[in-house]
Amino acid sequence: MNKTDDIDHPPWPAIEHGEPQPQPPHPPVPAQHSTHLPALPTPERGRRRRWWLRIALALVVLAGGAGGAYYWWQRLHPPLPPGIVFGNGRLEADEINIDTKYAARIAEILADEGDLVKAGQVVARMDTRDLAASLKKSQAQVRQARRAVDEANANVAQQRAQSLLAQQEYDRAAYLVQKGFQTKEVLDERQQQLDGAHAALDAATQRVTESRHALEAATHDVELYNVEINDDTLVAPVDGRIQYRVANVGEVLPAGGHVFAMLDTSYVYMDIYLPTAAAGKVKYGADARIVADAYPNVAIPAKVSFIATQAQFTPKTVETQSERDKLMFRVRVRINADWLRARTDAVSSGLPGVAYVLTGRATKWPEWLRGGVVQ
* Torsion angle (degrees, nearest 10) of CA 31, 32, 34, 38: -20
Minimum mean pLDDT range among 163-177, 179-193, 310-324? 310-324
- 333 forms beta bridges with 270, 304
Residue 47's pLDDT is 67
The one-letter amino acid at 265: T
**What confidence tier does 51 reach under pLDDT thresholds 50, 70, 90?**
confident
In a domain, 32, yes or no: no
| Structural domain containing residue 207 | 129-231
The alpha carbons of the chain give a radius of gyration, in whole angstroms, of: 52
Query: 365 and 267, same structural domain?
Result: yes
User: Quick check: 239 and 121 in contact, CB under 8 A?
Assistant: no
Does the pLDDT of residue 293 top 70, yes or no?
yes
In a domain, 153, yes or no: yes
Does the pLDDT of residue 66 top 60, yes or no?
yes
Residue 304's pLDDT is 95
Query: 292 and 222, same structural domain?
Result: no
With a CB cutoff of 8 Å and minimum separation 6, the contacts of 54 are none
Query: 136 and 214, same structural domain?
Result: yes
Share of the chain above pLDDT 70, in %: 78
Decide which of 223, 253, 283 is a domain's last residue.
Answer: 253
In a domain, 37, yes or no: no
In a domain, 158, yes or no: yes
In a domain, 68, yes or no: no
User: Quick check: 154 and 160 in contact, CB under 8 A?
Assistant: no
Query: 216 and 347, same structural domain?
Result: no
| Residue with more model confidence, 333 or 360 | 333
Query: 179 and 156, same structural domain?
Result: yes
In a domain, 375, yes or no: no
Query: 145 and 109, same structural domain?
Result: no
What is the C-alpha to C-alpha distance for residues 277 and 252, in angstroms, rounded to an integer? Answer: 54
Mean pLDDT of 200-206: 86
CB atoms within 10 A of CB 167: 15
Domain at 316, CATH number:
2.40.30.170
Query: 282 and 135, same structural domain?
Result: no
Query: 244 and 119, same structural domain?
Result: yes
Query: 360 and 266, same structural domain?
Result: yes
- 357 forms beta bridges with 85, 288
> Count H helices, E strands: the chain?
7, 12
Mean pLDDT of 327-333: 90
Does the pLDDT of residue 33 top 50, yes or no?
no
What is the C-alpha to C-alpha distance for residues 154 and 160, in angstroms, rounded to an integer? Answer: 10
CB atoms within 10 A of CB 20: 6
Query: 201 and 242, same structural domain?
Result: no
Mean pLDDT of 141-147: 91
Please tell me the total count of domains within the chain: 3
Q: Is the pTM here over 0.75, yes or no?
A: no
| Residue with more model confidence, 259 or 169 | 259
Does the pLDDT of residue 122 top 80, yes or no?
yes
How many residues does the structure list for the chain? 375
The one-letter amino acid at 232: D
Residue 100's pLDDT is 94
Residue 18's pLDDT is 43
Does the pLDDT of residue 127 top 90, yes or no?
yes
In a domain, 330, yes or no: yes
Does the pLDDT of residue 179 top 90, yes or no?
no
**What confidence tier does 26 reach under pLDDT thresholds 50, 70, 90?**
very low
Query: 247 and 163, same structural domain?
Result: no
Does the pLDDT of residue 14 top 70, yes or no?
no
Strand 328-335 versus strand 300-307 pairing type: antiparallel
Residue 11's pLDDT is 44
Query: 365 and 268, same structural domain?
Result: yes
In a domain, 10, yes or no: no
